[in-house]
Amino acid sequence: MHSELEKEISEEIGLREPPINVLTRPFQEFFKVEASSGIILMVVTAAALLLANSPWAADYFHLLETYLSVTFGQFDVSLSLLHWINDGLMAIFFFLVGLEIKREVLIGELSSPRKAALPIAAAIGGMLIPA
């Protein structure tokens, strides 16, 4: 439920909905699209490649070497930003990929053994015969 102040501001500037919804709606709509995570991954990869091969490469690599620490009581983990990306974010990425594959195998396009045979063979080949 919206507060009276939000309604008043919305009416004053001619909006039908609260200003925060006007700002967040494009992001909400974008993330509803299944391909949004792939789009983000491609854009961030392109940005990293451009930065690594640009005049700002030294600053970019210096940023990646910056150490970040997470401390909970006696427990302390201190890793470079590059290690956090490689170890933490990639683990989350592959966890999400695994969930997507599980969904496809259980109820999606790969639910029949006949349809799943080629992707399974390709995955096994990729593990047994690395490039």
Which pLDDT does position 12 carry in this prediction?
Answer: 66
Whole-angstrom Cα distance, residue 34 to residue 103? 14
The whole-number mean pLDDT for each consecutive block of 10 residues of the chain, a chain of 131 residues, reads 66 68 82 83 94 96 95 94 91 89 91 91 89 64
- Answer whether residue 62 is part of any domain: no
**Parent domain of 126:** 69-131
Q: How buried is residue 66: exposed, middle or buried, by Cβ count under 10 Å (0-12/13-18/19+)? A: exposed
Q: How many domains is the chain built from?
A: 1
Which pLDDT does position 131 carry in this prediction?
Answer: 64
Which pLDDT does position 2 carry in this prediction?
Answer: 57
By the 8 A CB rule, do 84 and 68 touch? yes
Task: Give me the phi and psi of 33, to 5 degrees please.
Answer: -75, 130
Which pLDDT does position 26 carry in this prediction?
Answer: 84
- Answer whether residue 58 is part of any domain: no
Which pLDDT does position 11 carry in this prediction?
Answer: 66
- Answer whether residue 127 is part of any domain: yes
Q: Which two tokens stand for residue 40?
A: 């983000």
- Answer whether residue 61 is part of any domain: no
Tally DSSP H helices, then E strands, for the chain.
7, 2
pTM tops 0.75: no
